[in-house]
Structure 1
Amino acid sequence: MQRWFLMVVLLSLFVVQTGKFAQAQQLSGDVLEEFRAEMQDFFKFTSSILITFTSQTGVTQGNFVFSSDIDEDYSLKVFKAPLRYYLVPAENRLRPFVTLSYGHARTSVTYRSADYYPEDLDVRDRDRSRTNSFGVKTGASWEYRPGFTLEPFLGVAYSHIEYLYEFNTRFMREIIELFPELDRDAYNTTVDLYSVSSGLRHSLDYPLGPGLFGFDLQYVYQYSRPWRSKSSFVDFSAHSSFLGTTLDYELPTGLNLLDRELSIKPFVSRTDLFGDFNKGMHLHHFYEFGMNLILDVGPFRNLFSRISLGGSYITGENFQGWKFGLTFI
């Protein structure tokens, strides 16, 4: 996800020049095509990650860190606010629904410059992004047997990604002075995308001992394509999917809050990543371990019947994070 490879390409261009540069230059055709191909992959993989995290409610949210052996760790912060409305009361076994969602993500990493200028040794460039996604999803929750629920759904989303780069090192400032078009095309630019997704979720709630054992399996496929960008390098389509598996156990505490029953629900989940989502994160799967406090508030205007407050720890290959929040179920 880092743009370190761009600095390597630009370094090779910079070193072959001699003396000071009095005016801007143009990239040669071969170099430009190679650079364009690299940028296509960069935008494709990063947008796939950011859109999936912000527009898909089945993917976790929170604060995450991607560890790196050669540079500073890469940070990702994700916030999502979904709102589901059921078209029929809870007594019905087949309940069509509409879900509106908003997601926001921020990323940040700093780079050491090439060791070309001594004054750059203690200076770092800063690479950031901001993503906002708005989505709508429609589907139906069908309890085909007591405790067994099947949920197909289809969704669309619009996402706006803003890439921001601070040229703090002399090396990168001189590169941009030499090739000013790269500032808009590769570093400080925006991408607007639309996404279409489809998925299927199956859940099981089975009485076991004093509590309720739960098993949840969800698969989602997502297709994304940009429709507008400041960059002339943006022209791609992204195909991503994930498989989420969750085991939980809900146990009544025997306590009441505001005359409502209070339960605890520890859980463990695994998310497997496929397609461009996998390639962009260099991550095949990650695990989540957490605990929720559940308050049964009864049906509230076909929106929710329970409130969940909890937190979890997320870990994967060179990837870890945490979340804490409130969820309406």
Structure 2
Amino acid sequence: MDNQTKLLADLLGQSEFSLVDHYLRLLSKNYCVEQRVEILKERLIQTEILFSQEKKQYQQEIDKLKQKFNSQEKKHADKSIDRKLLSKDEDLNDDFQICLIQAPIYPDDITDGMLNIWHTDAGKFVSKMDVICEIETDTVILELVAPDNGFIKRIIKNEGDIVSSGEGIAEFVSTQDPKMAVDLNNELSKGVWVDPETKLMWARISIGQEWENGECSGNAKELTLGAAKTACQGFKLAGFDDWRLPNINELKSLIDEGSKKYRYDQNILFNPLLSTSGWYWSSTYVGNDKYAYLNLFNFHSGGDFSGNYRHVRAVRGPVRN
């Protein structure tokens, strides 16, 4: 005990001195605790700042990796011969798909080539691995083969055109059905239309109408269900004779029921009469001796007895339920 403390102890009684001493010690401890708390708060703030900076750096690195990955994926997709162009329905029948045929990836010392010759025409059926065209470069002539059985839907690069590495040169329809081979560039002029989503081929005219010189003439017939099926089986248009009566889901694929309108240009499919859009039979049985029909005037469907008379529009291609 130092002299000042002894003097204080002499002036105070022992008990009072003990209380003062205890109080002073408590003050000292509290001060130390407050200092430590302030220090910890400062360290916490510094840690949060550091964490925020590191988080930002990590996010920047993640964004860079995402950009790099997306860039690689795009390059891979652009170079893939089997990349699907028009298929929007994953459940689409595999017998009818459209893909892009691309020029091969040239070596580094070759910048481009020239499409020398096409060995097939649009709409002509070819077998898998048949040579369909040749691309000539400075050093070699490259032969491209059909990726599957099918036909060229649309030629993108003509003979004599310059073709870059991996560039698309044609759209190819993969199908096992040679009858599907039709020049789809001129499909509308032949009186048919292929839905790009369902891949079904529709007659632009109704049963009873005629397609002559690229135009629709006459009025459609109204038939019973049995007569409608028979008429579709004997129907011939654009060189095809394997038409059938569509089911109700196939008919509904032509319209948007919510907005009460056609999903495509209404001029694609001609009305059965100038004054009406018609009630069309389907092959779908709905019970109670009734079959489904689709009304293309106010875009609703219902059921009717097979002996009643409705219009008929033929379709061809794999059945879609």
Q: Is the pair's TM-score, using the shorter chain for normalization, greater than 0.5? A: no
The TM-score range, normalised by the shorter chain, is: under 0.3
Compare CA radii of gyration and give the structure with the larger one.
2
**TM-score, normalised by the number of residues in structure 2:** 0.22
* Higher percent of residues as helix: 2
More strand by proportion, 1 or 2? 1
